[in-house]
Homo-oligomer: A and B are copies of this chain.
Amino acid sequence: MSTALERGRTLAATLNPNLEKTLADRYDQAVPDFAETLIEHAYGRIYAREGLDLKTRQLITIGALTALGGQTAPQLKINIQHAQAQGASKTEIYETIMQMSLYGGLPAAINALNTANEYFADSEMAEPQA
């Protein structure tokens, strides 16, 4: 097993313990080794790099997904969850999206605000009421 794959698995588990299995169930039949490839490369070779903390990395990803336009909604939701798992606040997430109106245009930012609103509405409904 490659070291990059091991590093990727360790890191991915801190974000979402089911990530590799979810990906494998969804994509590995059509694209053999899809989940392993993604975990090794995205988490083992990129997110696991030194020199930038994981919370900042996740906010940068949210910014990029926003700037690329509304078609990345599913990935935006997953990375909002990962940003929260690294300690990013709701405010930091929304501020990241709002700033992107300057670079990806207003429609891209509004699409991402809608996705974030939807994500937080769903996740807050799922939480137990104390």
Contacts and interface: CB of A to CB of B under 8 A. Distances in A.
B46 A98 contact: yes
Work out how many copies of this chain go into the complex: 6
A91 interface: yes
Contacts of A3: 2
Interface string A73-101: 01100000000000001111011111111
A interface majority secondary structure: helix
Nearest to A110: B75
Contact of A51 (B34, B69, B95): B95
Given A46-B101, A95-B52, A72 B70 contact: yes
A36 to B, nearest CB: 9
A52 B91 contact: yes
Interface of A: 2-5, 26-27, 30-31, 33-34, 37-38, 40-42, 45-47, 49, 51-52, 56-57, 59-61, 63-72, 74-75, 89-92, 94-108, 110-111, 113-114, 116-117, 120
